[in-house]
Amino acid sequence: MGLLDGKVTVVTGAGNGIGRATALLFAREGASVVVNDLGGLRDGTGHAPHAADAVVAEIRNFGGSAEVSYDTVATEEGAEAIVAKAVSTFGRIDVLLNNAGVLRDKTLLKMSLAEWQAVLDVHLTGTFLCTQAAALEMKAQGSGSIINTSSVSGMLGNFGQSNYSAAKAGIYGLTRTASIELQRFGVRVNAVAPIAKTRLTEDLPMFEKIEDSLSPDHVAPAHLFLASSLAKEVTGVVLAVAGARMSVFKVVESAGKYKESDAGVWSAAEIAEHFESISKV
């Protein structure tokens, strides 16, 4: 018995890297998988079906069940078509992994509006559109698991990635709010913040000397955990994966400090004077 026996799953950006590793693992654990990938280059341009086709063929070769989708996540029509493919082919959708992504790295002062918007369209808007389309089906079913993809860049920031960081931080906020809104319908919403050597990251300095210690295969089990009944009580969580290390990201507020005089109104000078105690966690 696999952890996802009889489940219908959708993995966006499943043609390479983390998406491919997760699609294969989901299939080996008994799930039917819609393998979605536009087949574009790292910056989101272009379109080729071979990446998604290859993953579908690989799943079918070991006896798994898979169908292909080439639709973009960045439009309402595309997102609805991805979810519709799962429902029309397999009858339902139990798990959505929002994994599709592109990179257009530039420092803030050199980034064009087009470079900013292209990354937000795929990562943040794409996650919203696919989540909304899947949640409508899952609400009717009374169950489902949605797994989004955030990032260390979104939680902590990263040089040269203002567009990507903003999108991934937005996905954190979306995950938290969606988990609150959808819990009453039996739908769980979580996120994974992975660090892995993939097509998107392989030429970054931190990955130059890394081989298998930060591979996509380290990330896929986190997706499987969140997709399965093992995590039936888990929602609104961001699980971070960096090779063999797992952790959970949390937004933490400091204890704060009350001003007890002058009607509680702080002056700027007083804030400066007490800033250390105001900010202490």
First to last CA, the chain: 46
Q: List, by residue number, the catalytic residues.
A: 164
| Within a domain: 1 | no
Whether residue 26 contacts residue 52, with contact meaning beta carbons closer than 8 Å, is answered with no
Does residue 279 share a domain with residue 241? no
pTM (2 d.p.): 0.92
| Within a domain: 2 | no
Does residue 122 share a domain with residue 261? no
- What's the confidence (pLDDT) of residue 43? 62
Does residue 177 share a domain with residue 92? yes
pLDDT by position in tens, the chain (length 281) = 899 999 999 999 999 999 999 999 999 999 999 999 997 766 666 677 799 999 999 999 999 999 999 999 999 999 999 999 999 999 999 999 999 999 998 999 999 999 999 999 999 999 999 999 999 999 999 999 999 999 999 999 999 999 999 999 999 999 999 999 999 999 999 999 999 655 555 555 544 555 567 889 999 999 999 999 999 999 999 999 999 999 999 999 999 999 988 788 999 999 999 999 999 99
Q: Residue 149: beta bridge partners? A: 192
Smallest Cα–Cα separation from 95: which of 7, 35, 24, 23?
7
Strands 8-12 and 238-242 turn out to be unpaired
Does residue 126 share a domain with residue 233? yes
Does residue 135 share a domain with residue 41? yes
- What's the confidence (pLDDT) of residue 207? 47
Please write down the HEC assignment for all residues of 83-147: HHHHHHHHCCCCEEECCCCCCCCECHHHCCHHHHHHHHHHHHHHHHHHHHHHHHHHHHHCCEEEE
CA distances from 26 to 4, 21, 52, 233 (A): 7, 9, 15, 20
Neighbouring C-beta atoms of residue 212, cutoff 10 Å: 9
The whole domain housing 231 covers 8-250
Does residue 155 share a domain with residue 35? yes
Q: How many domains does the chain have?
A: 2
- What's the confidence (pLDDT) of residue 1? 83
Joined together, the tokens standing for residue 145 give: 């698991």
Q: How would you class 190 by CB atoms within 10 Å of its CB: exposed for 0-12, middle for 13-18, buried for 19 or more? A: buried
CA distances from 7 to 52, 88, 118 (A): 20, 14, 32
